[in-house]
A and B are shown apart, each in its own frame.
Chain A
Amino acid sequence: MSGAEVIEEEVEIVNRLGLHARAAAKLVHTAGGFRSRVALAKDGEDIDAKSILGLLLLAAAQGTRLKIRCEGQDEEDAMRAVTALIAGRFGEES
């Protein structure tokens, strides 16, 4: 059954500015479009990807590797959307 288990992927922050405020806001709004729980982890601790302050406290600069964990009925769509946003440099030029 889909959504029974947590799915996890590792990504790298590739945009030059890292996970800064506007990027974090985009991530919050992307994750917020799904019912699944979406979490990011840097050093083992899970941070709610639907909370901008939590994301900013990750202090994830360019080159940081993060684990994304999604859990819920639309977890696969959520994972695709979040990984695409990060790989696409949050729509930024560099």
Chain B
Amino acid sequence: MIGKLILTQGGLARELLAAARTISGELAGFEALSLDWSDGFEEAKSKVRSALDHLDQGQGVLVLTDMFGGTPTNVALTFQHPGKVEILTGVNLPMVLRLTCPGIEDTDVTLLARWLLAKGQRSVGLASEMAAPAVPCPEPK
């Protein structure tokens, strides 16, 4: 299983995961890391390193961060490695929920990141204009 780390400053990561759990139930392989606003770079890096070590079961970790350019993303980028650790920034609740659905890519973290990027982009829009698009259903396995 690919590990999933939600990484932000402040309580955002913790609350995003709490909301996803309220909606979707217990989520295995997920962890939230809320960095303190006062954490320095090295302190943040050490927290991220231990979360990654904890979550990686051999298939890597997908890190979801709040904002490009912020400390969580900058720190996470020092661990980026194709096939091992990928960072997808701009996390929102639909993205976290989409990761809880069955049948998602669970062996290649880079493919999972690219797939979730497309899903996340589709989750943003004017609500008045969002209607069911033609989403082809996957063939049964």
Contact = CB atoms under 8 A, between A and B. Distances in A.
Interface stretch (B7-15, B39-47, B57-65, B131-139): B131-139
Given A53-B119, A53-B122, A45 B102 contact: no
Contacts of B23: 21-22, 25
Interface stretch (A7-15, A27-35, A86-94): A27-35
B103 to A, nearest CB: 6
Contact of B131 (A37, A51, A57): A57
A31 B97 CA distance: 16
B100 A48 contact: no
Interface string B95-108: 00110111100000
Contacts of B130: 57, 59
Interface residues of B, number: 26
B133 A25 contact: no
Given A28-B102, A35-B140, A36-B140, A48 B135 contact: yes
B100 A45 contact: no
Given A21-B23, A35-B140, A52 B97 contact: yes
Contacts of B98: 51-53
B132 A58 contact: yes
A55 to B, nearest CB: 9
Contacts of B80: none
Nearest to A57: B132
Interface secondary structure of B, over-half rule: loop
A74 B131 CA distance: 30
Given A25-B100, A32-B103, A42-B132, A53 B94 contact: yes
Interface in B104-141: 119, 122-123, 130-141
B134 A45 contact: yes
B140 A39 contact: no
Contacts of B69: none
Contact of A47 (B94, B102, B132, B140): B132
A25 B97 contact: yes
A60 B24 CA distance: 19
5 contacts: A25-B23, A45-B135, A48-B136, A52-B100, A53-B123
